[in-house]
Structure 1
């Protein structure tokens, strides 16, 4: 049992037993955040007197069905009753990383959920068949998506499938609903909340209270080597080999333009490149050339 101060009165609040299933992973106490993490649902709200027929209560569940790459890699909870706030058939989450510094995937999902807390505003109990979020981190960057199948918020409003990130609907001073919420953090990580309900704590008719309810949340950190891949350097085209000069017969003047002008010396310059094929004296000038080839240097 714990006490919560609400409008000048102290109200005893029982934390839902289901919250005890929220496991604190070793990464929760680590100096560095895990590369990936996810959870199915969380609620931290203070309800006004009369809401849900009570005198006013505070509900704080922690992160239900929590998982991370540095702790429990998957988690699930079935038959979720959050004290009349939310019900669900099942909530699940998972977080995986390929190797110590490889790509990261984190995801969370809620199946057959209802939100009795919003029934008064919606005109009926809002419901959805599937709420899910997913993020992925690779060297090329971090991306996120979310799905809300069969979402029916009644009078509050509805959004079509494929809604862009961070779309908002709701009731002024009472409630704000953020669909496909995507939060980019200064360290490059990304959080995707499929559905985020904000109770605005207003004093108008129909006010519910204050606080936040998050459904299907996934977070992925930036992995090493992030950024666009660079274009590989193209190999340099090899230069054309230099053609050997026409061999000079013994005693025959060299061709015009040949190094040395009319010099009849057939030996290559001392220390110079061996670009001249020398035919040794006495070698036959006809035939298959096997002897000359065998003596060429």
Structure 2
């Protein structure tokens, strides 16, 4: 009888103890939040068919190259980078900084003197670029993002316009898709901008390279709390009986991204230039 009571007490004590343990563990799990800003120079995760970069097919997963974060390290750089033969670059770098613990955020990534041997079979020659870069900035007024593609020539794949909206796509059906100035809005309100996102679509189409993704120059910024310093509306006041007029645009500047537009920032200003 006594042993049964002891067993009952043990069980009775064990349940509160487990509940206390769960309470103690939960906060640490919830504390794992995304940094205010982050960036990386390049990443590749692809499976290539035989004959693309050699006689045999290869699988490549580089992870994030030259990653940085507002939580540290705030900057990173690597030189003379061959991404397993897919991409080569003289310098790949990134930085992510925040003014104080809750101030404005600035994240950027760049690739200097890049070449894309993986696209040579489709482009007719190896595409090169002097600079491939992206940047996002977050303030209480919102998040803005931009990309720069200097001297990039994709040959037969297609031409990149001098000025273009976010998420412009070109490529070859069933083989390749290239997304220029890709902007992705996440559920937590943060925004990622990828200067160039190369998607290998696989398939059995003639000229197929394989399947997977290559991302060049990626930057991410989270929302910043505070009071906006500019009026919420980007349109100028209208005269009675006349609709409001949009603000004038500077050279090479693109329009404000519509609120709620798919895969784009919420009201963010986005621009991409090629020269």
TM-score of the two chains, using structure 2 as the length reference: 0.71
Larger mean CA deviation between 175-184 and 153-162 belongs to 153-162
CA-CA distance at 1:227 after TM superposition: 5.6
Matched ranges for 1:112-127 at <5 A? 112-127=113-128
- What per-residue deviation string (whole Å, max 9, x for no partner) do you get for residues 134-187 of structure 1? 000000101100000011000001112322110000011000000000111111
Question: Deviation per CA, 1:45-93, whole angstroms, max 9, x where unpaired?
Answer: 0111222113211100000000000110000010011121000010110
**Across the two proteins, how many residue pairs are aligned to each other?**
203
Residues 175, 199 of structure 1: 8 Å contact kept:
yes
Return 5+ residue gaps in structure 2 as ranges.
Answer: 1-30, 233-275
Q: Does 1:49 find its partner at 2:42?
A: no
1:55–1:230 distance in 2 versus 1, CA, 3 Å: closer
Runs ≥4 residues deviating over 4 A: 226-231
| Range moving further from structure 2, 153-162 or 169-178 | 153-162
**What SS does the aligned partner of 1:79 have?**
strand
SS of 2:118's equivalent?
A: helix
TM-score, scaled relative to structure 1: 0.66
Contact 2:36–2:105 (CA under 8 A) maintained in structure 1: yes
The residue matched to 1:52 in structure 2 has which SS? coil
Per the alignment, in what secondary structure is the counterpart of residue 51 of structure 1?
coil
Aligned counterparts of 1:226 and 1:60: Cα–Cα separation in 2: 42
Q: 1:128 is paired with a residue of what secondary structure? A: strand
Deviation at 1:228?
A: 6.9
| Structure 1 CA distance for aligned equivalents of residues 162 and 34 of structure 2 | 32
1:139 corresponding residue in structure 2? 140
The answer for the alignment partner of 1:189 in structure 2 is 190
Q: Which residue of 2 aligns with 1:111?
A: 112
Where 2:64 maps in the other structure, the secondary structure is coil
Superposition CA RMSD, Å: 1.7
1:32 aligns with 2:33: yes
CA distance in 2, matches of 1:229, 1:186: 24
Q: Secondary structure at the match of 1:72?
A: coil
SS in 1 for 2:122: helix
Native 8 Å contact 2:52 2:121 kept in 1: no
Q: Is the 8 A contact 2:157 2:171 kept in 1?
A: yes
Q: What is the aligned partner in structure 1 of residue 214 from structure 2?
A: 213
Secondary structure of the structure 1 residue equivalent to 2:224: coil
In the TM superposition, what are the counterparts of 1:71-220 in structure 2 within 5 Å? Answer: 71-220=72-221
**SS of match in other structure, 2:53:** helix
User: Contact between 1:38 and 1:68, CA under 8 Å: does it hold in 2?
Assistant: yes
In the TM superposition, residue 34 of structure 1 has moved relative to its aligned partner by: 0.4
Match runs of 1:208-287 below 5 Å? 208-225=209-226
Unaligned runs of 5+ in 1: 1-29, 232-297
Larger Rg: 1
How far off is 1:230 after superposition? Answer: 7.3
Q: Residues 134 and 146 of structure 2 are in contact (CA less than 8 Å); yes or no, is this contact kept in structure 1? A: yes
